[in-house]
Amino acid sequence: MSLTEQNVRPRKSFSKYLTYASSRFIFRLFALLFFRFHCQGRHHIPRRGGALICANHQSMLDPPLVGMAARRHLAYLARKTLFKQPLFGWFLRKVDGIPLDRGGMGFAGIKATLKSLKAGSVVVIFPEGTRSKTGELQQLKGGFIALVRRAKVPLVPCGLIGAHECLPRGTGMIRFRRIRCVYGKPISVSEIESLSDEQLLAMVHGDILECMQRANISRG
């Protein structure tokens, strides 16, 4: 049975739910006030069962922005070293962060992510591997394809525009600019299985780029 066939949503402890919900509410209020944040295509995220959200990576604001836009509790991949920080590490554990080795996803990262997906979670990944210096979509790292193949869940493309202008890579000063987010039509498990790795990589890149273009149009 594939993960998409499991009509499940993971059960969260009350403390995890409270931490995620309260932080999401606070950041959402901040983003609406100062970034005039708007999102389209939320209905493309499956209401139940596991799924992967593949988004472009413009700034440190991206994870909470993607999570704020979704109606479900999302899990995130984060460097293992971040879990060792007292406050931020506690927060990552509370919001079901998935630790990654410094070199990338690796076997342990894939195993942990698959476990989360099997439990019915929606996991966010940034297949560029690092934040864009220009805000434009970079070449995707092919390593995430192995995860996509084994997960057997739908893949939802996501495009963010404006986050790079608000908090560019290498700066610590937030600037208030409009941010838009667009979720695209999911790539089904059957589509994923019918494509070669190169074709799938090109499709994911193209779908994310299309979401970014739509987000840019809505930004005006």
What CATH number is associated with residue 25? Answer: 3.40.1130.10
Q: Is residue 58 assigned to a domain? A: yes
Burial of 218 (C-beta count, 10 Å sphere; 0-12/13-18/19+): middle
Q: Is residue 139 assigned to a domain? A: yes
- Alpha-carbon span 217 to 213, nearest angstrom: 6
Q: Is residue 53 assigned to a domain? A: yes
Q: Is residue 128 assigned to a domain? A: yes
- Alpha-carbon span 165 to 208, nearest angstrom: 19
Q: Which one, of 41, 206, 65, lies nearest residue 137 by Cα?
A: 206
Q: Is residue 175 assigned to a domain? A: yes
Domain count, the chain: 1
Instruction: State the pLDDT at residue 83.
Output: 87
Instruction: State the pLDDT at residue 10.
Output: 63
| Residue ranges of the chain whose pLDDT lies below 50 | 1-6
Instruction: State the pLDDT at residue 39.
Output: 96
- Domain range spanning residue 132? 12-219
Q: Is residue 61 assigned to a domain? A: yes
Terminal Cα distance for the chain, rounded: 44
Q: Is residue 3 assigned to a domain? A: no
